[in-house]
Structure 1
Amino acid sequence: MTDAAFVIDQWDFSTTPAQRETTLPTNLHGRWVHCQRDAPDLVPWLDSLGIQNGIQQALLAEDTRPRFEIVGDGFLLNLRGVNLNPGAEPDDMLSLRFLWHDGGLITLRKHSFRAVASVRERLASGDGPVNLGNLLMTLVAALNSRIDEVLDAQEAELVVLEDESSGPNPQEHLAKLTQLHRRLLRLHRFIRPQVGALNEFVGESETWLSHKDRLGLSNQRDTTQRILENIEMLLQQVQLIRDELQQNLAERMNRNTYWLSVTAGVFLPLSFLTGLFGINVGGMPGVESSTAFWFVCGALSTIAVVEFLLLRRLRFW
């Protein structure tokens, strides 16, 4: 496919339709090169293109938040997408780096993106983007589409948890809500700055993108904003359900504590009397009487009934 191990795919958009390249380009104009970010032989190629060391560090940094920055006659754009690789958590978002340099586009990733793979498949089938600006807008749209799919799944899970929130095991539902809350917070951590990065890019994109592609990019910025608002709405719903569950738990605990207190109040005088008559000292009344035991039992029963009626009259329940 290519003579460089770090190149995942590359297309030449200077011709119509786009043509898949088979050799490593020395001139980026009109080309898209998709690279493996942690490949050891990537840096020498970036050096050969005249990309400054500071820009390379920003491209290859291990952990970066979404951002947009103009560099020379191009720009650097870092975006995040959901991790849909087998065994991974979608909210562990992956970083996709864009560098527009010398009229061409370089993208870098460390782990595979289904969103990028779908765009490559469209290009291979002849139904993909027709220029670099359209390619960039399509990649952003693919990232947003996968995030939307994950959010739809999170929303469906929240609906199920809300329907089951009145079940017999609120602790289990609280644990599930906490996990969902944590996943949404991780998504929110990167989507919020992603809206800002895309907003800055839309404002500066006239230099590199056509009017039609700028409109498409603006729509994708609005889509990202909608995704952010959806995440914030889901976070509020999770918090409301958690508050309701915690209130139900508190009410259940208070009710149990109340009945325990009432029961203890009924048996407190009875326990005192049985303890008093159970002491082994001389002079206890009724020791020699065969009816004293039944008299004490009757007295205790009477006291219990009187306490029950008194507590009921005082509306303790």
Structure 2
Amino acid sequence: MTDYHIPKRLRPDTISRKAGQRPGSLALPENALAPRFFLISYGPDFFLEQEHQGYDSLMHTFREHPQAKHWLDVRGYADVPVLERMMADFQIHPLQMEDIVNDYQRPKVEDETDRLFIVSRMIEFNEEHKLEDRQLTLLTGPNYVLTFQSDYHDCLDVLRDRIRSGKGTIRKRPVMSLTHGILDVITDYYFPAMAKIGDYAEELEDCLFENPGRQLLTQILDLKREVVKLRRTVWQERDKINELLRMDEEVIPAELKIYFRDVYDHAVQLMDLVDNYKETTSNLSDLYLSNVSNRMNEVMKVLTIISTIFIPLSFIVGLYGMNFSRENPRGGINEWNMPELYHPYGYVYLLTFMGLVVTGMVYFFYRKGWLSNK
């Protein structure tokens, strides 16, 4: 898997400053990167790959090979004049360009007369156990695919390697095959993120039986929120692919439908996995509460046993703490007022009796199985 860094999504305060602006306004994120232009031109017996230093150089090479198929990849948005030129050159609607630069859109597809506008989300589960995703926007044309993304690195290097090497049939098929390849790779890279989530959930489950503290509950609830967010994204990705499958053959050629159906099958598998993880995280929360309750019950059982043992001892001590006088004020002895207090071994007898009471109660609890943790 390609190691790539995904920048933070737009902060809520950044988004809120867009309120009230004219639709189609290009309000760039504060952390937007300077654009870099990559072009892969290919055909059955032709291949050209180059990073261009500017937009003019990119368009010159693009127009120089009208018979080839092209993948124009723009990474970074921090140049409004260039974005406006691209809108004119590729007939991109201002509202679509607004969706491109404000990269917090949900996965979707828009079918126009001769092209598609597709929004996808690339997913990564990082080392801090947080779900990070960023947007890749894709526009198709008669002989090109135009992609936009906010970062310089992505998960599509495996697809680029396939085009470079000429493996498979992507060079021989229509340009829509490149669209399928991009969507297929993005969908496949959901599975490693799912595997990391599953491993992390198993770690939390093991910790539940070792040290179920409040910090662990916080981690479980955080994971549950991440899974809910992932489920929402996967659901939208699945609907997007399903919508592509329903399009006419003039948009998606018949020979490519089976490949898009394969991507849809992967999306369905992802949906099943994320539903399973959603149930797992809910079970972890219940298991935590049950574990804490059991530990509290164990503590209460110990305290109850200790209190029960001391009840008869407290009674005996309280009984002998009554201040009944042995000597009668009118003279003589009150023989029934605790005569054992004056016995030479009364104290020893009393301690022995109390010890026998404690021993008998502990033995009784043991026979009942109340002293066992099982």
Relative distance call for 1:140 and 1:25 in structure 2 (3 A) is: same
Could you give the per-residue CA deviations for residues 227-265 of structure 1, whole angstroms, max 9, x where no partner exists? Answer: 111121233234345534543442333233123212202
Tell me how far apart the structure 2 counterparts of residues 25 and 302 of structure 1 sit (CA, whole Å): 99
Give the letter aligned to residue 159 of structure 2. Answer: V
Quick check: which has more Rg, 1 or 2? 2
1:225 aligned to 260, 264, 268, which one? Answer: 268
User: 1:25 is matched with which residue?
Assistant: 59
AA matched with 2:350: V
Q: Summarize the alignment of residues 92-103 of structure 1 with structure 2, pairs less than 5 Å apart.
A: 92-101=132-141
Residue 119 (structure 1) aligned with residue 186 (structure 2): no
The TM-score with structure 2 as length reference comes to 0.69
**Whole-Å separation in 2 of the counterparts to 1:96 and 1:242:** 34
Give the match for residue 199 of structure 1: 242
- TM-aligned CA deviation for residue 175 of structure 1: 6.0
The answer to whether the Cα contact below 8 Å between 1:165 and 1:245 also exists between their aligned partners in 2 is no
Contact 1:81 1:96 in 2 (8 A): yes
> Measured at CA, do residues 169 and 315 of structure 1 come closer, stay the same or move farther in structure 2, by a change above 3 Å?
closer
**314 and 157 in structure 1: CA distance in 2 versus 1, 3 angstrom threshold:** closer
Cα 1:316/1:58, change in 2 over 3 Å:
closer
Shift of 1:146: 1.6
Q: Give secondary structure in 1 for the equivalent of 2:132.
A: coil
* CA 314–90 in structure 1, closer or farther in 2 if over 3 Å, else same: closer
The reply to whether residue 82 of structure 1 matches residue 123 of structure 2 is yes
Q: CA deviation at 1:67?
A: 1.0
Instruction: Indicate the residue corresponding to 2:75 in structure 1.
Output: 36
Give me the CA root mean square deviation. Answer: 3.6
The total of aligned residue pairs comes to: 310
Q: Which residue of 2 aligns with 1:67?
A: 108
Q: Is residue 42–residue 48 contact of structure 2 (8 Å, CA) maintained in 1?
A: yes
Q: Which amino acid aligns with 2:258?
A: L
Cα 1:115/1:311, change in 2 over 3 Å: closer
Is 2:186 the counterpart of 1:143?
yes
Percent identity among equivalent residues?
A: 15
Q: Report the CA distance between 1:64 and its aligned residue.
A: 1.0
SS of residue in 2 equivalent to 1:186? helix
3-state secondary structure, aligned to 1:93: strand
Per the alignment, residue 99 of structure 2 pairs with: 58
- The structural deviation recorded for 1:220 is 0.6
Aligned pair partner of 2:253 in 200, 210, 214: 210
Question: How far is the alpha carbon of 1:159 from its aligned partner?
Answer: 4.9
Q: Look up the equivalent residue of 2:305 and give its one-letter code.
A: V
The counterpart of 1:298, out of the listed 352, 355, 363, is 352
**How much does 1:148 deviate?**
1.4
Match of 1:169 in 2: 211
Gaps of 5+ in 2: 1-33, 327-337
Cα distance, 1:151–1:113 mapped onto 2, change above 3 Å = farther
For residues 59 and 282 of structure 2, the distance between their equivalents in structure 1, rounded to whole angstroms, comes to 52
Instruction: Give the AA of the match of 2:351.
Output: C
Deviation of the 1:303 alpha carbon: 4.1
After TM superposition, the structure 1 stretch with the greater mean CA deviation from structure 2, 72-81 or 21-30, is: 21-30
Higher deviation after alignment, 173-182 or 103-112: 173-182
Deviation at 1:79, TM superposition (A): 0.8
1:35 Cα deviation after fit:
0.8
Give the distance between the partners of 1:198 and 1:56, measured in 2 at CA.
22
Output the CA distance in 2 between the equivalents of 1:265 and 1:107: 74
How far off its partner does 1:307 sit?
A: 4.8
* Residue type of the alignment partner of 2:259: G
Query: Aligned-pair distance for 1:108?
Result: 0.8
The one-letter code of the counterpart of 2:79 is P
